[in-house]
Amino acid sequence: MQPSGESLHLGNYVGALVNWVKTQEQYEAFFFIPDLHGITVPHDPQALRERTRNTAAQFIAGGIDPDRSTLFVQSHVPEHAQLAWVLTCMTGMGEAARMTQFKDKSAKQGAEASSVGLLSYPMLMAADILLYQPHGVPVGDDQKQHVELTRNLAQRFNYRFGETFRVPEPFIPEVGARIYDLQEPTAKMSKSASSPNGLININDSDTKIAKKIKSAVTDDGTEIRFDREQKPGVSNLLSIYSAVTGKSIPELVAEYQGKMYGHLKVDLAEVVVARIGPVRDRTLELLDDPGELDRLLAKGAAKARHTAATTLAEVYDKVGFLPAAPV
């Protein structure tokens, strides 16, 4: 998750982070903050630094265990950029330009305002993945195209230079995949929300969280039921409630039969505050000791480089780069 906003939001938390925490129970997992991806658009350097540290703190506060998993900052492992260049040289211009996210973003901001980094960042994403020879990549359904490019590049490299990369599979969680904006419940909750009231941030106060939920857009009528087409507002509230508590949506619908939207909102505010409050408080504790947080990230980067350097050395050898002689 890019450090592009002041905080991760509820959609990031229940849609991705909660599932990532589960994967570390079963797999050897690598998690990183993609700050190299964060400079494909104009940015403020100091804000990037602060947001990177804040995102790392929220990862840990949300349940990523630096002792169990490998947690690091992308720019601390230079092998990401080094492998990205090799993969960029194996990617066709048309192939890169067909990436949906590039087409969408460049159409919005215009070709002259779009950086080459925006065009080539899927190759950096491929390097992010292939360096660690993973079996699977946990992604949202909007990233499947990038994983397909990664698979294609791995297969292309293996064909040209010999078996080198494991070809990874996309791992798309089925639960909590999408939380919608509280003010625009047909749009995914996003850091670029048109109204800050549509977004529940991890670092929001209890009062602010409750206020945003109680002012959430609902629908015509008074019946509480799940219907994404006819009742997107109420359906979104039910989805959030289910994701935060683990209760099924049918169970919640039965529980609120005959009740008003206000009852649902009051109860939802309470359970969201109970879930998010401790994560926010732990984040603030970690940020109060930046030295310790940086130590944990350095430890993770060293562990990541052990794996990444092995992969990159094999790639450099196979493409024909002259090895540096010891001084």
115 is in an annotated binding site: no
Q: pLDDT tens digit string along 128-146?
A: 999 999 998 887 666 778 8
Same fold, 10-177+293-319 and 206-285: no
pLDDT at 95: 86
pLDDT the model gives residue 320? 97
Check pLDDT > 60 for residue 177. Answer: no
pTM of the model: 0.89
Average pLDDT over residues 212-235: 92
Please tell me the total number of residues recorded for the chain in this structure. 327
Class of domain 206-285: mainly alpha
Give the catalytic positions in this structure: 105, 188, 191
Q: Is 248 annotated as a binding residue?
A: no
The pLDDT value given to residue 174: 57
Closest CA to 311 of 134, 88, 123, 120: 134
212 has binding-site annotation? no
Q: Where do the DSSP E strands lie in 109-194?
A: 136-138, 169-171
pLDDT at 325: 92
Nearest to residue 99, comparing CAs of 126, 79, 78? 126
pLDDT tens track for 271-284: 999 999 999 999 99
Q: How far is the CA of 66 from the CAs of 227, 292, 303, 304, in angstroms?
A: 40, 12, 11, 12
Assess if CATH 2.40.50.100 describes domain 10-177+293-319: no
DSSP state of 218: -
| Residue 230, marked binder | no
* Domain parsing of the chain, residue ranges: 10-177+293-319, 206-285
Cβ–Cβ < 8 Å for 271, 195: no
Any known ligand binding at 35? Answer: no
Structure tokens at 65: 């265990």
Query: Which pLDDT band holds residue 67 (cuts at 50, 70, 90)?
Result: very high
Token match 């209890």: residue? 206
Q: Is 1 annotated as a binding residue?
A: no
Q: What angle do CA 111, 117, 123 make, to 5 degrees?
A: 120
Asked if the model's pLDDT at residue 191 lies above 80, the reply is: no
What's the CA gap between 10 and 13, in Å, rounded? Answer: 5
